[in-house]
Amino acid sequence: MKTLFIGAGSMAHALMGGALKAGVLNSGEVYVTNRSNKERLDEIMQEFCVQKVNLEEEYDVIVLAMKPKDFHEAAESITPYLSEHTLIISVLAGITMEHISDKLTFKGAIARAMPNTSAAMGKSATAVSFNHSLSNSQKQWTKTLFQSVGIAAEVEEEKLDLITALSGSGPAYIYYVAEILKHAAVELGLEEDLAESLVTQTIAGASAMLSESGLEAVELRNNVTSAGGTTEAGIAALEDFQVKEAFFQCITSAKNRSQVLGSELKKQSMKK
């Protein structure tokens, strides 16, 4: 599959690297372009032995991986690479498939995906949606592409703003929890290096238990929580400070912001 990545940022880097390693992509058929950072473009071309975009070619797959705010400016330059058989895959937060279709005057196959930065470690949780024009083989290929950097699940497009808030932004929430745990441990007397290693391993171990034990999170929590014990005391403090409600508002606020950003980008496009 002759594949063009438009954008050479961290998501393009992670997806390209995972797909090449898994054999989903062949470096001889991968092309890349980046609007503003030539140094970054040269680095990614050298690392993966991929090629700079050929202005006179059409591509089987085009991956939109620029910053969402740059999509409208880039749209006109994308059109020459399209054919009726091209599959467009977008990882642009907030931009709908309908908007992509309208902006590119393209009526063919479009997929929209929401991976997260853990793709760099092959651990992304990706949701992907398809318009009506994809063939079954294109759908399967797209899923395989994102499975090369983690797990991938097909969802209705209207759920992507929520998934952006949950798993797209989710790694940052976990990092924030790690930051808080480390800060508390240091404030209470642990050395910083020791606190960091203990927090990191605790989160890694809990993640492994969630993914490999076959038990629900509530079961795992209850297994650790003895009546009258230390864990129960800690959980009680979290409940007293309404941490559950705080996380609900966290997801709600991020979801709402995703919707607003998408609406703002669409309005900006209509003005041009």
Number of domains making up the chain:
2
Residue 260 in any domain: the answer is no
**Contact (CB, 8 A) for 35 and 66:** yes
**Co-location of 81 and 196 in the same domain:** no
pLDDT at position 271 is: 65
Residue 59 in any domain: the answer is yes
Residue 252 in any domain: the answer is no
pLDDT at position 97 is: 96
Residue stretches of the chain with pLDDT short of 50 = none
Residue 71 in any domain: the answer is yes
187 lies in which domain range?
169-241
Residue 247 in any domain: the answer is no
Name the packing angle between helices 170-187 and 192-212 (round to 10°).
140
Number of residues that make up the chain: 272
**Co-location of 129 and 235 in the same domain:** no
Burial status of residue 35 (CB atoms within 10 A of its CB: 0-12, 13-18, 19 or more):
middle
pLDDT at position 76 is: 84
Residue 155 in any domain: the answer is yes
pTM score: 0.89
Q: Give the CATH number for residue 218.
A: 1.10.3730.10
Distances (CA, A) of 99 to 81, 113, 216, 225, 263: 18, 15, 38, 49, 10
Contact residues for 270 (Cβ-Cβ < 8 A; gap 6+): none
